[in-house]
Amino acid sequence: MMVTTRTPEQTQSLGRRLGRLLKGLDVVCLFGNLGSGKTTLAKGIAAGAGFKGRVMSPTFGLARLYRGRRLALNHLDLYRVGAGETGDIGIEDFIHDPKAACVIEWPEAGAAYYPKDRLEVRLSHVSSGRRLAFKALGRRSRELLGRLEAK
């Protein structure tokens, strides 16, 4: 699935629709350059999980937990994490939390820890805004994407 958004609000609204569909143990990886809209999308996802508070890039904190009314969401940002340092973070704890979904910005460094079945989103700058390419890597993520596309 490929979507182009013209404004941050459109990216958030797409995230909100995705966030409403997520369940515990779902993993969403957000790839893309600086400023491509990963945190903007994550804000929407948190809103869709029923979280009313502020969502910021956890670049300096590494991970944040949003306790949404509907679902808890772990928000990770591995921008500052080197490929060899992931063992220290306990990424597994965030990913294997049955009560929470997990959304990860700059997911490259943690690749070894993610479940096979996950949703990948690649965000990029285009002249009209941002392009978001969604890819499902398993049965559950295909179901998710199918439901998102149907909306």
What does the binding site for ligand ATP look like in residue numbers (CB under 6 A)? 5-8, 10-11, 32, 34-40, 57, 105, 129-130
| DSSP, residue by residue, 2-55 | EEEESSHHHHHHHHHHHHHH--TT-EEEEEE-TTSSHHHHHHHHHHHTT--S--
What's the closest the beta carbon of residue 105 comes to Mg ion, in angstroms?
5
Residues 105-124 that bind Mg ion (CB under 5 A): 105
| Cβ atoms of residues 48 and 147 within 8 Å | no
Q: Is 12 in the site for Mg ion (CB under 5 A)?
A: no
CB of 9 to ligand ATP, least distance (A): 8
Nearer to Mg ion, 36 or 141 (CB): 36
Closest distance of CB 130 from ligand ATP, Å: 4
- 38 counts as binding Mg ion under rule CB under 5 A: yes
> In 33-151, which ranges are continuous DSSP H helix?
38-48, 91-95, 139-149
The least CB distance from residue 133 to ligand ATP, in Å, is 14
Q: Which two tokens stand for residue 44?
A: 């929407």
Q: What is the dihedral of CA 139, 140, 144, 147, to 10 degrees?
A: 60
Q: From ligand ATP, Mg ion, none, which one binds at residue 34 (CB under 5 to 8 Å depending on kind)?
A: ligand ATP
How many Å apart are CA 130 and CA 149, to the nearest integer?
18
Site of interaction with Mg ion (CB under 5 A): 38-39, 57, 105
